[in-house]
Chains A and B, each alone.
Chain A
Amino acid sequence: MINIKRTAQRGGLYLTMILYALTIVIPLFVMIMTSFKTNAEIFRNPFGLPSSFNIDAYVNLFVISNYEKYFLNSIGVTILSLGIAVTLSALAAYAISKYKFKYNRAIYIYFVLGLVVPIKLGTIDIMITMLRLTVYDTLWALIIVYIAMAIPLSVFVLYDYIKMVPEELSSAARIDGCSEPGIFARVITPLIKPGLAAAGIISFIPNWNEFWFPLVLIKSKDNYTIPLATGQLFGQFDTKLNLVFAVLSLATIPVIVIYLLLSNYFVKGLSAGAVKG
């Protein structure tokens, strides 16, 4: 009796998992497969695999649009903003966690507050500031905003890593005559490399996918990032379905690949945040 119940439970569990997996995979599968079909085939054979993997859509996309340029823009913006944000956050997190003073806790909370502040609601002022700094409609405008956006999460992640570095190491270096910046660069940094990687990787996804700020701050085609280009090309290709699906696939595949390669970082970093928060 118990065995039958157990078997039924197991069966239900596996069935649910399979259905759940299918709801995740099917939309992505349809997207990628459709991009390899010709327009006629999309109507004739909406479900199956493409009769031949036709890469015309991708070739056309690069011919019609400046796609490689958008790709480089996105890479440049992401690397610069995350690199700067993680460096500055590491410095701040180091000072907050290692130098004892009156407002350690207050400054830490001040930074971490940014995790729940909807920066979108300050866009009017950000736009005006970017115009004043004469960086409106340049990639610099995005880089600055993305640095600010990545700081709260990076401080939050790095604070714990730096806290774990034993105090004796810095003291020993100090006695040997090492300067404070020297301690940070030569003692702390090598020990928190996994933390630096985690902070960068967790911020990578929202940064790479961000659509709102380029929509508001970028006007010239030359400065489009991938999400903005995706939005604009989607409207433009309206009826050329395989092109539309190629645009979506190209915006998605790099993220999926990076996620699958580094998923342990995401899962650990994010769930640690949830449990602690």
Chain B
Amino acid sequence: MPAVATQGLEHQAERAKSRQGFLLGLPAIVYLLVFFVIPLGIVIAYSFATRTRSGRTELNDWNVEAYRRLGEDVVRAVAFRSLWIAVLTTVVCLVLAYPLAYFISTRSPAVRNMMLVGVMIPFWSNFLIRTYAWRVLLDSDGLFTQMVSAVGLGDGRILFTSNAVILGLVYGYLPFMVLPLYASIERIDWSLVEGARDLYASGWMAFRRVVWPLSRPGVIAGSILVFVPSFGAFVTPAILGGNKKGLMGSYIVDQFLDARNGPLGASLSVVVLGVMLVGTLIYFRQGGRTL
């Protein structure tokens, strides 16, 4: 009998706790419902709506015409090019950010904070102006170009190529890689590393067997934070790439603004969002835990 009573109590306590959890999340839930989910619902509705001859989107005559157009060659070409650029950007960011995040984690707390703020400060200037500053560095008599050619790596002219686009995207999203990596590396219990060193003796092995697996959540979070905006970027490709080869971001903007094809723009957005969401969820499963 007493066993049953405690069980009931425990059950009650659990329910109370679950209610608490829900209440804590409630403000954010309500907020996102009103200011994100409902607007998103409108976009989804748009994707099934009809474009009138004058370019207005009418919420009637529901159809899947906009989704049918996603099979066109233009869309496929644009999607693959964007995918390629986003993957490269993510890899370069990871290679640049990991050692930096590692280095920052090994500093004293005061220096660590300074360095983290140091990573963010450039991003408090204006995004467009930063990107234009890159244009100045990359143009034919720019500092970057001169340095590259001085080192002997070709003529160093990369402005208005996809290399310049990748450089710009890496620059723009590198902090999104550094921050989560730092967060996960900083948490590592270094006595484990010490133990591993005693066992393997090689610093590299200790890194591969201990540090890398423990920092995986940061790698995953950072990769997503970099990959997603790179895939949809349209300002950087326009300024540094000269908009010569269509990318997903600019294609969607063109549909909404120039072509005034609301349904097509919306269907593209919905598909991109869906693929990203599924990808993210699978990626997290692979990573073992959420972030």
To the question of whether A and B form a pair in one complex, the answer is: no
Name B residues whose Cβ lies closer than 8 Å to a Cβ of A: none
Name A residues whose Cβ lies closer than 8 Å to a Cβ of B: none
